[in-house]
Amino acid sequence: MQQLIECVPNFSEGKDMHIINQIVSAMESVEGVRVLNVDPGKATNRTVVTMVGEPGLVVEAAFRAIKTAGELIDMASHKGEHPRMGATDVCPLIPIANISMEETVKYAVQLAEKVGKELNLPVYLYEAAQNDKERSNLSVIRAGEYEGFATKILSPQWKPDFGPAVFDAKRGATVIGARDFLVAYNINLNTTSTRRANAVAFDIREAGRTVKEKGQVVKDAEGKPVTIPGSLKAVKAIGWFIEEYGIAQISINLTNINITPMHIAFDEASRKAEKRGLRVTGSELVGLIPLKAMTDAGRYFLEKQNRSVGVSESELIRIAVRSLGLNELSPFKPEERIIEYRLANPADQKLVSMSLKDFADETASESPAPGGGSISAYVGALGVSLATMVANLSSHKAGWDDQWQTFSHWADKGQQLKKKLVALVDADTAAFNRIMDAFSLPKTTEAEKTTRTNAIQDATKFAIEVPLQVMSVAFESMEIIKTMAEIGNPNSVSDAGVGALCARTAVMGAFMNVRINAASCTDKTFVNKTLLEGSKIQQETIEMENQILEIVNKKIGL
């Protein structure tokens, strides 16, 4: 399985697009690396770039970008609101797929050593890549910033991990490390006061604020400053004024969105701001964000309204964007800012991206795909969609307010099953194409014949497993359909009935595909096990359909 890491270098240039484009081009010159996002900020005079790829390729792309930035950016003349100490200020590597943090650390150290040695640049390790925890925190390393670095680097305590212990007036120094996924997030305030913004930042950030009396820092018995912790864990924050927008912001790093997600930070900042006579007007995302962070936010705000969370993924994102005010300063485009959307391959969604008319036309064409498997998956998606509709209508039915959470649960489950079945529409066609590709392999030599035969059998098994998944998910949807027939809005009981018919069709149609593909599979143990499982699902589906239709017909009464 392909290993993927993300790299999010921050460059001390946010105004000159000619320079920024050259740095980005240096990354893109490494084949196999994808630049997902380029986010320049004029007021901070800083650009955050997100790229992803296999580890070795990302290390090379990052090296070329750091080299180019050092050649083009002059730190001696740099001004900006964001703390910084070098042309490439910070360059973290983040594990994304099939790679551990320990492995990612090795690549970060490899990059740092290469930069220090070949570019003769002072480099500090941070976060997971730094063994000395006294200097693993980025804010501690960067304290004093570029202006104080000429003195700081002379201290034995701040000897670089790699590269010379010499102040580089043009390039400054670079911090390289490995960390978990971090969300850079700014919250907008209706004030121009940096001091007020800082007050709110200190209220919420985990480090809190230092206690002072009569302007002096209060220290404990060990001589350490006494602090009052902030209200949120895994949150770093400062306040600043952004001249470009004419407002103050709370600049936040969410270091673990499983502990403190974006929507919790937004609401807590809103509460703390209100206590200080301020108001949060919106927010701004820097770089990319995982899909789950957006859909979780959508669910959070819907639940606060006692509304069903069983809406489409796109609707959850729309609710999140509006509730968080992510469109206040510039348009928020999900296809550009959500990491899964940026990584998605359009070819994997060819069929489901079509209009209904185009899909029907494609099915009716002389092409053998999409065939019965894809159609079965789509019919199943329609069936569970009808049940989800009934759940949402019931959740919002006047007089049923005390039951909204029950129906919200079923609607949410329906949306998850619908998403799986929609994905299986293209997966089934991809399975068919995989068989065709295997048959087209060369068969001149004995070795080629063996490779071809194995490839055909592997593809055949895959073409059996996909419709079997369709059967399993479509059958699972019948629980929702039956529940909606029993307790859902009685005016929509016929919709539940049609949903049952669709689910039955999906199961039986998919089983035909399982069987016809199984006939070409030489692994009889696998075939017998699969057919036994498929027969069981089909029989249980027919029984469930009869139960649902009996309920529906009784309620219709005619």
By CB atoms closer than 10 A (0-12, 13-18, 19+), residue 382 is middle
Residue 312 tokens read as 């489409």
Residue 283 tokens read as 């927010």
Residue 324 tokens read as 């968080």
Pairing label, strands 174-178, 88-97: parallel
DSSP state of 188: E
The active-site residue out of 39, 161, 428, 495 is 428
230-261: b (≥16 Cβ within 10 Å) or e: bbbebbbbbbbbbeebebbbbbbbbbebeebb
Please say if 161 is a catalytic residue.
Answer: no
57-67: b (≥16 Cβ within 10 Å) or e: bbbbbbbbbbb
Cβ atoms of residues 342 and 290 within 8 Å: no
The active-site residue out of 39, 82, 203, 495 is 82
208: left (phi over 0), alpha (psi -120 to 50) or beta: left
The answer, yes or no, to whether the previous bond of 442 is cis (omega within 30 of 0) is no
Cβ atoms of residues 173 and 135 within 8 Å: no
How many Å apart are CA 486 and CA 201, to the nearest integer? Answer: 51
Q: Specify which residues 43 forms β-bridges with.
A: none
Residue 305 sits at φ, ψ, to 5 deg, of -95, 5
How many Å apart are CA 164 and CA 100, to the nearest integer? Answer: 30
Please say if 428 is a catalytic residue.
Answer: yes
- Note every long-range contact of 459-463, with CB atoms under 8 Å and residues 24 or more positions apart, other chains counting: 459/431, 459/434, 459/435, 460/435, 460/517, 460/520, 460/521, 461/521, 461/523, 461/526, 462/431, 462/434, 463/428, 463/431, 463/432, 463/434, 463/435, 463/513, 463/517
**Whats the size of the chain, residue-wise?**
558
Q: Specify which residues 515 forms β-bridges with.
A: none
Cα end-to-end distance, the chain, whole Å: 57
Which DSSP helix (H) or strand (E) runs through 93? strand 88-97
Residue 170 tokens read as 């043009």
Give the residue numbers marked as catalytic. 82, 428
